[in-house]
Amino acid sequence: RPQVAFSAALGSDGFFGPVNVDSTLVYKNVFMNVGNAYQQTTGIFTAPVRGAYYFSFFYHCSTSRGTWLHLYRNGKKEARAGQHKTENGMAANGGNGLTLLLEKADQVYIILQKDSWIWDGGNVSVFSGFLIDA
């Protein structure tokens, strides 16, 4: 059975965004990439085999601006997580996770929605995934 697992953080301290258009997040600080299915230059995971995969994504943001992240598979939104704008501008954390049945060559990635921003420092904004069963 093939082994596939990755985990990566955005990779530098500071804000990412706000973005003018929906943008793929590129998680550059790769902790592990067993099977080399995650591409740290594009932020895209490409399934090497058909199977059930689990993905999770977490973020840190300020609520002074609304923030939304979306997990996409082949251009289709599968899950999202985010914070509504609040008047107090407090710091917030959030995330989501799900299991997907992927075909070989399916692509999974995280989109930062237009006008959103997140922050990374100490690896608080992370994208991870692994093969459960092929």
Supply the pLDDT for residue 29: 96
Tokens of 31: 């902790």
Domain containing 51 — which CATH number?
A: 2.60.120.40
| DSSP codes of every residue in 10-52 | --SSEEE---SS-EE----EEEEEETS-EETTTTEEE-SSSEE
Q: How many CA atoms, within 13 angstroms, populate the side-chain half-sphere of residue 128?
A: 15
Look up residue 32 and give its DSSP letter.
E
Supply the pLDDT for residue 121: 87
How many domains are contained in the chain?
A: 1
Supply the pLDDT for residue 94: 92
Task: Report if pTM > 0.85.
Answer: yes
Q: Which domain holds residue 71?
A: 5-133
